[in-house]
């Protein structure tokens, strides 16, 4: 369990922030650049001493201004992964990893070299130098080095920011496995909403050093009032689903959720696999009657429960289909259809609109 309560005056803003991270889970600090995310990481790591507050991991107090406690960084048993890999260029991968093991406490070796190499799939890289690795491979090695220091908490500060979009998909599955394989508590900083949706169990949304919201990913993404902070372009609901089947002939998967069955393309996973599906508001269309003779495979009956009208040419509507769904419509369509709170509508989502980047966030049932 991570417990944080911090107050600190920076040049550009004042930080007043309190949040918790559950043991064995991934908590994401999300917000735009300059909102204080990295500063929080540096305070927890001991690189910045807060002016007041406390930081607690499990039963251990790392910082408490009222008791004058400040544990030095090297004694906190935390693993930190930055935007750049910070590998030693003169050492091969094996020795970079072993450096992390040498930095650990001798009596606390629960994460083994072999298990790290296996989970991160880097056995073929062990004799290479960092200069001969791709960006994604370097970050996997950096994660391995941090794991072998036997951390009780893993701090990840925008670990994919310096990697191009295509290579990010190379490392995301490995980060997904950390929580379940090693039981680690992870604090993950990002301003990329797709990363957060795929990886995190919980979100803490920051704005100018303050906590704007804290909660489950599904809950946060369904809040219309947070769209200015979570990003209007990718705004939309996140559905908790389970793989129910796969039609090989059409490469079409069926995902069950509280509102029915969602059909998506290109996802062939074992039956029962839990997945999050990010349905962007811009990909949802509305009709007043159930459509006939349409190519759209996903049609859900629901009721409008909330309307966000910021005075522009479009509005966002929250629709209850058994779980929240967000639809974005033009003001003209809103007026022509006579849409209002309480009105029954049929929400339509193309199966092809939900790509692999929109699916992820597998959760374990053993936690």
Q: Say whether pLDDT at 184 is over 50.
A: yes
Whether residue 241 has pLDDT greater than 80:
yes
- Of the candidate ranges 205-209, 218-222, 295-299, 358-362, the one whose mean pLDDT is the lowest: 358-362
* DSSP notation for 178-229: HHHHH--EEEEEES-HHHHHHH-SEEEEEETTEEEEEEEHHHHHT-GGGHHH
Q: What is the per-residue pLDDT for 106?
A: 52
- For the ranges 132-141, 252-261, 350-359, the maximum mean pLDDT occurs at 252-261
- Neighbour tally for 82: CB within 10 Å: 19
Q: Greater confidence, 129 or 359?
A: 129
| Alpha-carbon gap, residue 289 to 217, rounded angstroms | 31
The C-alpha angle with vertex 338 and arms to 336 and 339, in degrees rounded to 5, equals: 115
| Percent of the chain at pLDDT exceeding 90 | 56
Is residue 82 helix, strand or coil?
coil
Q: Is 170 helix (H, G, I), strand (E, B) or coil?
A: helix
Residue 160 has pLDDT above 50, yes or no: yes
pTM (predicted TM-score): 0.85
Q: What is the pLDDT of residue 41?
A: 93
> Which DSSP category does 79 fall into?
E
Q: What is the mean pLDDT of residues 276-283?
A: 92
The arithmetic mean of pLDDT across residues 5-14, rounded, is 90
300 pLDDT more than 60: yes
Average pLDDT over residues 226-247: 90
Q: Residue 150: which residues within 8 A CB-CB, separation 6 or more? A: 77, 104, 105, 108, 109, 110, 111
What is the average per-residue pLDDT within 124-148?
89
Is the confidence at residue 159, as pLDDT, over 90? no
- Band of pLDDT at residue 205, cut at 50, 70 and 90: very high
For residue 149 the two structure tokens come to 């220091």
Cβ contact 209:10 at 8 Å = yes
Mean pLDDT, the chain, integer: 88
∠ CA 76-81-83, nearest 5°, is 145
Q: Mutual orientation of helices 135-147 and 93-102 as an angle, nearest 10°?
A: 30
Confidence band, pLDDT 50/70/90 cuts, at residue 285: very high
**Of 78-82, 106-110, 198-202, 302-306, which gets the smallest average pLDDT?**
106-110
Q: Which tens digits make up the pLDDT trace of 46-62?
A: 999 999 999 999 999 99
pLDDT tens profile 336-367? 999 999 999 999 999 988 876 677 755 443 33
């Amino acid at each position: 369990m991570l417990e944080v309560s911090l107050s600190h005056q920076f040049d550009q803003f004042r930080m007043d922030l309190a949040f918790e991270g559950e043991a064995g889970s991934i908590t994401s600090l999300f917000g735009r650049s300059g909102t204080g995310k990295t500063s929080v990481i540096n305070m927890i790591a001991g690189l910045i001493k807060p002016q007041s507050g406390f930081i607690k991991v499990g039963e251990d107090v790392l910082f408490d201004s009222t008791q004058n406690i400040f544990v030095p960084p090297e004694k906190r048993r935390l693993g930190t992964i930055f935007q750049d890999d910070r590998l030693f260029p003169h050492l091969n991968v094996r020795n970079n990893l072993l450096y992390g093991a040498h930095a650990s406490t001798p009596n606390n070796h629960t994460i083994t070299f072999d298990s790290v190499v296996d989970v991160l799939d880097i056995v073929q890289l062990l004799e290479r130098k960092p200069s001969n690795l791709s960006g994604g491979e370097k970050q996997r090695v950096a994660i391995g080095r941090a794991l072998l220091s036997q951390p009780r908490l893993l701090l990840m500060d925008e670990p994919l920011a310096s990697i191009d979009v295509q290579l990010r998909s190379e490392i995301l599955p490995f980060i997904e496995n950390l929580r379940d394989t090693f039981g680690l508590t992870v604090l993950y900083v990002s301003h990329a909403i797709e990363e957060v949706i795929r990886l995190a169990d919980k979100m803490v949304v920051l704005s100018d050093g303050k906590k704007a919201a804290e909660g489950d990913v599904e809950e946060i993404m369904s809040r219309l009032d947070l769209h200015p902070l979570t990003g209007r372009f990718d705004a939309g609901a996140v559905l908790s689903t389970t793989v129910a089947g796969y039609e090989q002939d059409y490469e079409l998967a069926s995902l069950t959720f509280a509102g029915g069955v969602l059909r998506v393309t290109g996802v062939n996973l074992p039956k029962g696999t839990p997945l999050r599906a990010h349905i962007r508001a811009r990909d949802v269309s509305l009709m007043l009657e159930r459509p006939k003779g349409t190519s759209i495979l996903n049609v859900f009956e629901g009721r409008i429960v909330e309307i966000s009208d910021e005075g522009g040419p479009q509005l966002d509507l929250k629709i209850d289909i058994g779980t929240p769904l967000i639809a974005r419509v033009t003001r003209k369509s809103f007026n022509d259809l006579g849409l209002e709170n309480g009105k029954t509508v049929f929400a339509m989502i193309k199966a092809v609109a939900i790509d692999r980047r929109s699916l992820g966030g597998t959760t374990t049932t053993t936690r």
